[in-house]
Amino acid sequence: MSYAAYPSLRDKTVVVSGGATGLGAEFVRQFAAQGARVGFVDIDALHGEALAAEIGPSALFLPCDVRDVGSLESAIDDILHTFGPATILVNNAAHDKRHSIDELDVDYWNDRMAVNLRHQFFAARRLAPVMRAAGGGSIINLGSISAHIDLVDLVGYITAKAGIEGLTRTLARELGGDRIRVNCVIPGWVMTERQLRDWVTPEADAQIDRNQCLSDRVLPADVARMVLWLAADDSAMCTAQNWVVDGGWL
Write out pLDDT tens, residues 182-219: 999 999 999 998 888 887 889 989 999 999 999 999 99
Question: Phi and psi at residue 176, in whole multiples of 5°?
Answer: -60, -30
Whole-number pLDDT of residue 73 = 98
Whole-number pLDDT of residue 195 = 86
Q: Stretch 14-39: mean pLDDT, rounded?
A: 98
Write out pLDDT tens, residues 212-226: 999 999 999 999 999
3 state SS for 179-230: CEEEEEEEECCECCHHHHHHCCCHHHHHHHHHHCCCCCCECHHHHHHHHHHH
- Examine the residue annotation and report whether 6 is marked as an active-site residue of this protein: no
Task: Count Cα neighbours of 10 within 13 Å in the Cβ-side half-sphere.
Answer: 4
d(C-alpha 245, C-alpha 225), whole Å: 10
The residue from 3, 6, 108, 157 that is catalytic is 157
Write out pLDDT tens, residues 61-99: 999 999 999 999 999 999 999 999 999 999 999 999 888
Domains in the chain with CATH codes: 9-244 (3.40.50.720)
